[in-house]
Amino acid sequence: MANRRDFLRGVLAGGAALTAGVATDPACARETRQRPPEALGLLYDATLCVGCKACVAACKEANGNPPVFSTEDQLWDTPLDTNGYTFNLIKMYRNGTMDTKDQEVNGYSFMKVSCMHCADPSCVSACPVSAMTKDPETGIVGYNPDKCIGCRYCVAACPFGIPKYQYDDPTGRIGKCELCRHRYKDGHYSACAEVCPTGATLYGKTSDLLAEAKRRLAMKPGQVNRFPRGKIGGPDQSYEMPAGTYLQHVYGEKEYGGTQVLKLSGVNFQKVGMPDLPPESAAALSETIQHTLYSNLLMPFAVLGAMTFAAKRNVKADEGETANDSERKEG
């Protein structure tokens, strides 16, 4: 019976160790990360967007991506969603008679879909081989195909559905917006913002973009205001325009610890396809669990020690037994 008691004790001890490990230990808690001070990003203002899709075409060109077709004649680039070859897309929300722009009922709205460059990205936390990384200064979430093993954990992890894999290619890559970081050395910035005729997509430091977003939220609807175009802090390309009717919410200010791409809209963000996210990132929770269980490998080594001790005691007797068995077999 001693043996049965040992067994139960073992089960209980193991269970207790696990529960203790899984229950959040503040020492190992990994806080949700915030944007770096010099973070770069975009501000997309749906009320300024006219749906011309110049940004979609410019993105394709800047990234050397082929057109993707969804129509029979295959004449124009017509992707229905972002994919391995489409890193930026303007989607449309429509309701009822579609009379009024930026109105939820009987209205319509546009929404830009591209990488949000999260302060605490799930894809970077997920990637086992550091192919997806966040630049410590610019905060740009970049991708390195030479490290990528194509496991697509980043694709699964992203709450915005951004990293996408090229399934049609035996050497397919992950495709996603990298904020045109490859164009900076030539004095360029994000192609989508460069070509945007209305300044609906604006490039700049996220801190500046956030201030600009707050300025717009304070505007009286219909009142004429100046709106910058291209790049905040670049040459003045601003123009005058009556302010739209905004929801008092800068999407990306707080979501998952904040994103470097910010969005303004007149229509509910969930209605135009942006997920409702808590201020704590999933990456922080995932890493808190991992680091609690594996901090300095203390727990695995403790369990291994206990297991080795038990096995050392029990395997000896067992080996004698199998030795007898072998003799019997040979005899």
Partner 1 sequence: MANHTHAAPAPVGGRLLNATTLVAGVLVALMATLLLVRFIFGLGSVTNLNDGYPWGIWVVVDVIIGSAFACGGFSVAMLVYIFNRGEYHPLVRPALLASLFGYTLAGAGVIFDLGRWWNVWNMFWPGSVNLNSVMFEVAICITAYIIVMWIEFSPTFLEQMGREDTKRKLSRVMFFVIALGTVLPMMHQSSLGTLLVVLGVQIHPLWRTPLEPLLYLLTAVTMGYAVVLFESCVASSAYRRKIEMHLLTPLSKIMLGFLVAYLVVRFGDILVRGALGSAFAPSLEALMFWLETACFAAPLVLIGREADRRNPAKLFLAGILLMLGGALLRINGFLIGYETGDGFSYFPALPELLVTIGMFALEVLGYIIITRRFPVLPREA
Measured CA angle at 272 (ends 267, 277), to 5 deg: 100
| Euclidean distance between CA atoms 175 and 43, whole angstroms | 21
**16 lines the binding site for partner 1 (CB under 8 A):** no
Q: CA separation (Å) from 103 to 127, 143, 244, 288, 307?
A: 39, 37, 10, 41, 64
| Euclidean distance between CA atoms 260 and 12, whole angstroms | 47
How many helices and strands in the chain, by DSSP H and E? 8, 12
Q: Which stretch binds partner 1 (CB under 8 A): 32-40, 67-75, 81-89, 189-197?
A: 81-89
| Euclidean distance between CA atoms 251 and 214, whole angstroms | 11
Nearer to partner 1, 124 or 193 (CB): 124
| Per-residue mark of binding to partner 1, 87-126 (x: CB under 8 A) | -----------------------------------x--xx
| Euclidean distance between CA atoms 43 and 118, whole angstroms | 14
Q: Which stretch binds partner 1 (CB under 8 A): 45-53, 160-168, 181-189, 231-239?
A: 160-168
**277 lines the binding site for partner 1 (CB under 8 A):** yes
The nearest distance, CB 312 to partner 1, in angstroms, is 4
Q: Which of 13, 50, 218, 311 binds partner 1 (CB under 8 A)?
A: 311
Q: Which of 33, 60, 164, 231 binds partner 1 (CB under 8 A)?
A: 164
Contacting partner 1 within 180-219 (CB under 8 A): none
Q: Which of 222, 238, 290, 298 binds partner 1 (CB under 8 A)?
A: 290
Contacting partner 1 within 213-242 (CB under 8 A): none
**151 lines the binding site for partner 1 (CB under 8 A):** yes
DSSP character at residue 251: B
Tokens at 33, concatenated: 């990360």
